[in-house]
Structure 1
């Protein structure tokens, strides 16, 4: 495991909160440095950009994980379980096929609610401190489940939960078994012949 403090990656902002949790995942140096670049880029984003782009990354990771879990089939069949533009639907289906845990599904849905507040109120100047968004952030479970829960600003808590969900997803991809397609039923007439 890498020594994040020695690498100089921990800063006093949203990056610090997220990097602290990387130690729970078995990542190589390239993955850590790549993720640090991702966090630095998101730190520079507006609140709206942070929420919207974070969910784009999570949605891609979820789609990859679901494709790994589902039987080999056409892309149109996969779209039935993970339809574009219907992330809530994809999240519930991912839970049903064993891709997401209950806590992951819970936090993912709240992250979507937060993203939607930013995306669907484009003409309003809103932030992570707005009452509705703050309420959604307060419902995130991941940041409460760690040894030393972070109790900082809402944007950092959002980033922390999203980071933990992201790494839970990418670390699970190699452990998932593909669901097999049901065997064809042998018809009685075929058994007699």
Structure 2
């Protein structure tokens, strides 16, 4: 089942939660592909109070290490905020002013569709559609990122004393 299959037909809440979950999992894969392959790295993600156990921490660390672009980082932060809004209130929808503002500020992949095109069926002025479009682009961007990052994986160093 693909990302599009998982989000198609979802409620607003489901769409936000699934998109955020998939992106968070992909960021974790990218980070693990870059960091040393050892038990210390595993503890960063899996121990009781693991420093990289949250979506926010994975997002910030990915940006700090240069594993995601500034534009990707900004949009992941919007995805995270939208996910949190849906997770903490049953009344949240893509019609809420704050959600509309965050969704409409998302940009990854949008430039390609901003040129007039009669065949484009994506309504980027609709916050639901824009959120779906941008999160799909983020997932596509990260699909092979771990593979590419792995070729730049950190290696053990022997530092002078």
Q: TM-score normalised to the size of structure 2? A: 0.81
- Gaps in structure 2 of 5+ consecutive residues: 116-122
Measure how far apart 1:81 and its partner are: 7.9
Q: Which has the higher contact order (CA 8 A, sep 6+)?
A: 2
Partner of 1:59: 24
| 1:103-143 C-alpha deviation (Å, 9 max, x unpaired) | 11000000111111111112x2x321211100001111214
| 1:5-52 C-alpha deviation (Å, 9 max, x unpaired) | xxxxxxxxxxxxxxxxxxxxxxxxxxxxx43xx423422211101101
Is 1:155 the counterpart of 2:128 in the alignment? yes
Structure 2: distance between partners of 1:168 and 1:128:
24
Structure 1: distance between partners of 2:23 and 2:33:
15
Aligned positions of 1:74-153 closer than 5 A: 74=39, 75-78=42-45, 83-84=52-53, 86-122=54-90, 124=91, 126-148=92-114, 150-153=123-126
Rg: which structure is higher? 1
CA RMSD of aligned residues (A): 2.1
Q: Secondary structure at the match of 1:174?
A: helix
Count residues in correspondence: 148
Q: TM-score normalised to the size of structure 1? A: 0.69
Structure 2: distance between partners of 1:81 and 1:100:
21
